[in-house]
Structure 1
């Protein structure tokens, strides 16, 4: 999926800014894959992917780790044999920032087999 968010880079967030409103978050959701869902009152983003086996799951997880390190914005991951669940939120502001949507868009662009 090509979108404006995927071409941006995360900026450091040490707090001091308000989290995105539910309306702002809902608007940005339109640029993401439909797998993403808003968490309670737009405090985070969540998505889940299924894979054929552990190798493919871990390949995807490693690709997410590369995106996270490159962007210096790190999701919470839950992984198992054939699944990966991702939660994005900006802990410093206890809610969503544009960084979360940038990382989600970059994860959307990762290959999955």
Structure 2
């Protein structure tokens, strides 16, 4: 969907500034519109609904694969028929390009 999917996450151990709200808003345009930016522009959120637990867990496993491949991990909340993701780069207490790279790659997971 975007150039973000062609990028790889780079390790972030801190020492850099988080994205500004304007930078985050600019990158939001490259994601599917279901993603939301927190009011303080420090995290991305999205929720999915599924018809059963099996489909939910299949999606969660696909997200886990992306997270491990990129070495950048979301907060995941899931249960019967739903999954919620939150991305934020904890080392900088805000958003980095890594969060948007992973979100864009998750946007590419086939829908069931």
TM-score, normalization: structure 1?
0.98
| Structure 1 residue 40, shift from structure 2 partner | 2.6
Structure 2: distance between partners of 1:6 and 1:31: 10
In 2: Cα distance, 1:60 partner to 1:27 partner: 27
Calculate the TM-score normalised by the size of structure 2: 0.99
Backbone CA RMSD of aligned residues = 0.5
Q: Which runs of 5+ in 1 are unaligned?
A: none
> What 5-or-longer segments of structure 2 have no aligned partner?
none
Task: Indicate the SS of the match to 1:66.
Answer: helix
Paired residues, what number? 112
> Segments of 4+ in structure 1 off by > 4 A?
none
Post-superposition shift, 1:39?
1.1
| Equivalent residue number for residue 66 of structure 1 | 65
